[in-house]
Amino acid sequence: MRMENVLTPPRYIREHVFGMTQLAFAQMVGVTQPMVSRYEKRGTFPAEVQRTVLDHARLLNKRFEPAWFFEVPAEAETGETA
């Protein structure tokens, strides 16, 4: 499986919670697009980015579970909607 097809927690949050491109997400959380790409490849966000993501999810009234920082919901992995 190619790496860009792996649904890591950061990628799930960006695509399924916020519905954003890497660039738009990077601008929202205050990092560069290459950093978002690295987070997605590593499968984790640093703590300060997690706090920013939580703040934006609340501000934008997005359905968000903090557990998603660590594990993609099972329904997302099977192709169902969260």
Superfamily of domain 3-69: lambda repressor-like DNA-binding domains (1.10.260.40)
Specify whether the CB–CB gap between 48 and 56 falls below 8 A: no
The C-alpha atoms of residue 33 and residue 74 are separated, in whole angstroms, by: 27
pLDDT tens-digit readout, 34-75: 999 999 999 999 999 999 999 999 999 999 999 999 999 988
pLDDT tens-digit readout, 7-23: 999 999 999 999 999 99
Higher pLDDT, 79 or 77: 77
Give the start-to-end residue ranges of the domains of the chain. Answer: 3-69
